[in-house]
Structure 1
């Protein structure tokens, strides 16, 4: 039996699961960049855990239990803040996501059993990244812990995301972890690639795999210049407590007219004659507006008279809650609701854009909806309807295309991509806006649901990766949380404080060029999904052939 504590740790699957979860948590934003290096060893304990259980001849149930423990702890340590909105929602997010994450790891183990360690270990990044790609595009989408997001605190390390997107970071993380594991715990003490030289040389490849991409990234960063014409933008943070003032069913509700007055006052104090765009946050005008009559409402009239008409050349992006009624049964959607007095209708989390004082408002409906809050998959509707992750539980409507708001006359280079909250963590989704011609990313959000926690800070940091992938500036307006700006290198500036009313003003650049990632999309994710399907088919075929051989014998 191993005698030293370190040796015992290396033989204990539960302790290895705990160690791996702690390392990944410590590496995750918002911890400082030196700790980001722990991403490169965070998966090594899991690989050792699986190796130990394999050598012990453990049953599949025990392997699954320890795998689930590792993933559950990682989820719990990193996204516990979801429970600030509701304990049930936080538990559901951790428990369900950890269970889903087990799927690619169980596929890896089955492949390793069928085809041996060489093919098995190489299949791990294929299955995992194929799962991350799936997690971007289905009803239970929750890609908060996509491994490539882990570099959000160190954007200077991943300037090459403009070519690969954030899944390139996932490849990097898993590749380095495998190289380190093979160097330290390869079969019979020999690394996976069967290098027979001095032991110290076994670490050359994993160390090179860490520092070479960082070196390339720094070289890209040094030569990169901000692109596009300048534009002065103001982002407003009203700081209205969603638990005690923003919504009419909350204690201490602030009347809507008073909320609008606060917004107008903060905006007036921050803008200059050179300001061409103002952003107000998600659901900023939270009264429910019928889209057919929205432009004629008193609130819109007041915005036009007291802000836009007083400042010619100024445009405004704001969040609203809107309703569209369907008089034609053909147009009724799968998310439509019904009331006797309204008929069929959809409720939307909407971004409204006023190009100037006279133009009709342009509308965009939030498309990537939060599971259990804004979107309830039909198969889970009965379960998730009782879970609140912050906001109003129910299925909101959405739209399929990425709307880019048309350029106003006073700023012809401005083509605005309206991102609403959760949408900003999806790299390929944001890239679609830029592919459609967006020159500026405008993020409106309400991060107050998660209190003073890592949640809103992680959300802020993820925006830096979207800026690198698309080489677009991002202007960020939060109801409360952090508002500010992120440039095309992923550098955050003009930040507001937490839980304070404020407004920030900065000059952004309206880039018109498209990156490789924008032009070609998620090549890594789609490629690994094809390989994953082939791998699983191979496992099934090998299993069938194996059974037939045993029957014949």
Structure 2
């Protein structure tokens, strides 16, 4: 098939548009199974006509595709900062195009075009995994997230995680591409491609049938339960959160609690940054805002409270001072401390417990590569929550609220990391509580996408997920990813819920992203083969 240059550009643009049009929350998800086909035709033409293209042509064409994809799906990131949003779009698109271009080169030079099916899948899985685990992490557009509005399709995420969805998307695109290509080459002889069509149908239908069988598996009836109150205080994060003092913010929160709680309420969950002012952890009880909550719990001893706050901790004398530490002068001595985005657990007659957010938003909560770039951390984008370079917890932590019932505290951005959330489940968490502040997204797809992705965490862990969001969306999601109840955005309200706790971790929760680890091994093997072939030629 002969293509002119403008055909190549149009196909590259078409792939980007189809990828975006498939994306939740308003997308047509089925488009994702054909979205890569135009780009695959571009790759095929470039590969078969090397004399017409420069060495980096495939990176350039795919960059157009992925830039459109990024802009179409996450344009709302620019609400925080036009400059920061542009940087995110340009860099994320570049990473994607470099991976696609490298897979193209390895397939062509090492395997002589015969292993393209596997090369692209292994490289893309490796990319998504590495992009989840470095300091510029932005995993929002991992392909498996596309099914967040269709959790009934992917109940097998409890085995594979969202990376299984990535395999499904790429595999079906590659099968359909090869089918169309064979159909064209056979002078449009439908008989010639019947085996390909059968394979394509099998690749599409088999995961759906498996998912349907898993849907029929219910949670045991005798599981422990908890009565929750999810609070949505509806505080404007850019102005009210800073203009109101901590006591006023807590008064606002407790007024909602008093209005909606009843004698059965056992656990109150409030959003990320319920108290914006940073407080020293070693003297939390001395802050009047915290003391008022402790006294409230004391008067209602059946209640525990899980809430989002901003805290800080002094660096010990013999403790290593890390790159993200902050400092202040006391007398003539420079002292260091860490600041945290914290989940605080308050229980009657028990010490306060802390979990520090461990997956931080690049450029907002942590300056990437802080050891080298610390002088510019003052330019961190303010998204209305805790900003600047923050410290983290070294490992997941769950909170016990009685009778060996434990909750997994997930703070905002952490909820897009399936492997991380699964670790909380393997640490004994019986349900997932996401505390977040999504107000900075305003009326955009951003906060709706964030809620939607939480549905996949429910499927992966076979557990209920609850969300307490400052301005919304607060809600309850069952273990199959179905929405049980939700709040309206920008309303002051609360949701009462009684949910079961499932303390049995899924295969995925225990084993994490094993598909990616295998893919990394395969990519490493391919690169070794490529290097060996080059040495032999020399």
- TM-score, scaled relative to structure 2: 0.93
Could you say what secondary structure the match of 2:208 adopts? helix
Q: Which residue in the other structure is 2:440 paired with?
A: 449
Q: Say which of 49, 56, 59 aligns to 1:64.
A: 59
Q: Say which of 134, 137, 142 aligns to 2:138.
A: 142
Which 10-residue stretch deviates more, 462-471 or 388-397? 388-397
Q: Say which of 327, 336, 343 aligns to 1:338.
A: 327
Could you say what secondary structure the match of 2:390 adopts? coil
Q: Which residue in the other structure is 1:285 paired with?
A: 275
| Structure 1 position 389, deviation (Å) | 5.9
- State whether residues 88 and 388 of structure 1, in contact with CA within 8 Å, keep that contact through their aligned partners in structure 2: no
The reply to whether residue 296 of structure 1 matches residue 286 of structure 2 is: yes
The reply to whether residue 520 of structure 1 matches residue 511 of structure 2 is: yes
Cα distance in structure 1, aligned partners of 2:184 and 2:534: 27
| Structure 1 position 425, deviation (Å) | 0.5
Cα distance in structure 2, aligned partners of 1:211 and 1:47: 23
Instruction: Label 1:52 to 1:180 Cα distance change in 2 as closer, same or farther (>3 A).
Output: same
Cα distance in structure 2, aligned partners of 1:475 and 1:414: 15
Could you say what secondary structure the match of 1:235 adopts? strand
Cα distance in structure 1, aligned partners of 2:95 and 2:263: 52
- State whether residues 367 and 400 of structure 1, in contact with CA within 8 Å, keep that contact through their aligned partners in structure 2: yes
Q: Which residue in the other structure is 1:316 paired with?
A: 305
The number of aligned residues is 527
Instruction: Label 1:30 to 1:45 Cα distance change in 2 as closer, same or farther (>3 A).
Output: same
The reply to whether residue 185 of structure 1 matches residue 181 of structure 2 is: yes
- State whether residues 351 and 364 of structure 1, in contact with CA within 8 Å, keep that contact through their aligned partners in structure 2: yes
- State whether residues 156 and 218 of structure 1, in contact with CA within 8 Å, keep that contact through their aligned partners in structure 2: yes
Could you say what secondary structure the match of 2:112 adopts? helix
| Structure 1 position 257, deviation (Å) | 2.1
- State whether residues 295 and 360 of structure 1, in contact with CA within 8 Å, keep that contact through their aligned partners in structure 2: no
Cα distance in structure 1, aligned partners of 2:263 and 2:307: 20
Could you say what secondary structure the match of 1:133 adopts? helix
5+ residue gaps, structure 1, are 248-252, 549-553
Cα distance in structure 2, aligned partners of 1:344 and 1:329: 12
| Structure 1 position 332, deviation (Å) | 2.7
| Structure 1 position 470, deviation (Å) | 0.9
Cα distance in structure 2, aligned partners of 1:384 and 1:528: 35
- State whether residues 47 and 108 of structure 2, in contact with CA within 8 Å, keep that contact through their aligned partners in structure 1: no
The reply to whether residue 39 of structure 1 matches residue 40 of structure 2 is: no
Cα distance in structure 1, aligned partners of 2:91 and 2:379: 15
The reply to whether residue 29 of structure 1 matches residue 24 of structure 2 is: yes
Instruction: Label 1:400 to 1:51 Cα distance change in 2 as closer, same or farther (>3 A).
Output: same
| Structure 1 position 328, deviation (Å) | 1.2
Could you say what secondary structure the match of 1:198 adopts? helix
Which stretches of structure 1, 4 residues or longer, exceed 4 Å deviation after superposition?
Answer: 379-385
Could you say what secondary structure the match of 1:418 adopts? strand
- State whether residues 377 and 389 of structure 2, in contact with CA within 8 Å, keep that contact through their aligned partners in structure 1: no
Cα distance in structure 1, aligned partners of 2:218 and 2:17: 35
The reply to whether residue 396 of structure 1 matches residue 390 of structure 2 is: yes
- State whether residues 175 and 196 of structure 2, in contact with CA within 8 Å, keep that contact through their aligned partners in structure 1: no
- State whether residues 367 and 380 of structure 2, in contact with CA within 8 Å, keep that contact through their aligned partners in structure 1: no
Could you say what secondary structure the match of 1:437 adopts? coil
The reply to whether residue 224 of structure 1 matches residue 215 of structure 2 is: no
Cα distance in structure 1, aligned partners of 2:380 and 2:277: 23
Q: Which residue in the other structure is 1:361 paired with?
A: 352
Q: Say which of 415, 425, 436 aligns to 1:424.
A: 415
Q: Say which of 86, 101, 108 aligns to 1:113.
A: 108
Q: Which residue in the other structure is 1:209 paired with?
A: 203
Q: Say which of 469, 474, 483 aligns to 1:483.
A: 474
Instruction: Provide, for residues 177-215 of structure 1, a one-character-per-residue CA deviation record: whole Å limited to 9, x for no partner.
Output: 100101002497269xxx994334432211221122112
Could you say what secondary structure the match of 2:35 adopts? coil
Cα distance in structure 2, aligned partners of 1:226 and 1:289: 42
Alignment of 1:509-548 (within 5 A): 509-546=500-537, 548=538
Q: Say which of 145, 162, 175 aligns to 2:158.
A: 162
User: RMSD of the TM alignment (CA)?
Assistant: 2.1
- TM-score, scaled relative to structure 1: 0.91
Cα distance in structure 2, aligned partners of 1:16 and 1:387: 37
| Structure 1 position 8, deviation (Å) | 7.5
The reply to whether residue 99 of structure 1 matches residue 94 of structure 2 is: yes
| Structure 1 position 300, deviation (Å) | 1.7
Instruction: Provide, for residues 30-77 of structure 1, a one-character-per-residue CA deviation record: whole Å limited to 9, x for no partner.
Output: 025xx1111111111111111122233211232221111111111111
Cα distance in structure 2, aligned partners of 1:387 and 1:361: 30
5+ residue gaps, structure 2, are none
Cα distance in structure 1, aligned partners of 2:390 and 2:507: 33
Q: Say which of 174, 181, 187 aligns to 2:170.
A: 174
Instruction: Label 1:171 to 1:311 Cα distance change in 2 as closer, same or farther (>3 A).
Output: same
| Structure 1 position 229, deviation (Å) | 1.6
Instruction: Label 1:473 to 1:113 Cα distance change in 2 as closer, same or farther (>3 A).
Output: same
Instruction: Provide, for residues 125-182 of structure 1, a one-character-per-residue CA deviation record: whole Å limited to 9, x for no partner.
Output: 0001011111111111111111111110100000011111111111111111100101
Cα distance in structure 2, aligned partners of 1:61 and 1:163: 38
Q: Say which of 292, 302, 325 aligns to 2:314.
A: 325
Instruction: Provide, for residues 335-387 of structure 1, a one-character-per-residue CA deviation record: whole Å limited to 9, x for no partner.
Output: 2111112611010001100122x222100111000000111123455667535
Instruction: Label 1:302 to 1:80 Cα distance change in 2 as closer, same or farther (>3 A).
Output: same
